[in-house]
Structure 1
Amino acid sequence: MKAELLLKERIAIIPGRSFAELVVWRVPTPVRESSHAFKYRLALVVDGACVLRYDNEAGKGDHRHVGEAEIAYRFTTPEALLADFWADVESWRES
């Protein structure tokens, strides 16, 4: 089995100012430090700067970046991952 792209999408949040980029892969073996078969990168970019990102970079495992902070993230399912990301985007929009 080789990696399978499940989602690749860029969504305007505030046209011309911010967007969300969502990329999720199903991988044949877990990324180092992760225990599931998904590789992902979900990012919120505002005025050219990434202000929120969920990813599971090899060697770091599942985590999210909120501003400058890096926080561990407990991955359960791709659906929950997307729901958590969009909840954080909504919190950013409300702040």
Structure 2
Amino acid sequence: MKEISAKEVEQKLAKGEKVNIIDVREADEVTAGKIPGAFHIPLGLIEFKLNELDKFKEYIMVCRSGGRSGRATQFLEEQGYKAVNMAGGMLDWEGKIE
């Protein structure tokens, strides 16, 4: 499973790179703040939202600490999607939140 650090994601955003971030935390966690531009799809709904994802794009998966996003990353890879887990999750995130 590919991983990326929170700092690397922050640097990509600062450079203006187009990144596709999916936050798999629960709704109450996301209301406390998420990475700007991140899509919110709770982990339990990922399999039902596959038709909304593009197999030609790479997705950076985010959760609180990296565990749930790791499971989401593995699931997406098994379905033929390109996914990367943000290691450390939002606990390691030091950038802006919305």
Query: What interval of TM-score do these two structures reach, taking the shorter chain for normalisation?
Result: under 0.3
Q: TM-score, normalised by structure 2?
A: 0.25
Say which structure is richer in helix.
2
Greater relative contact order structure (CA < 8 Å, 6+ sep): 2
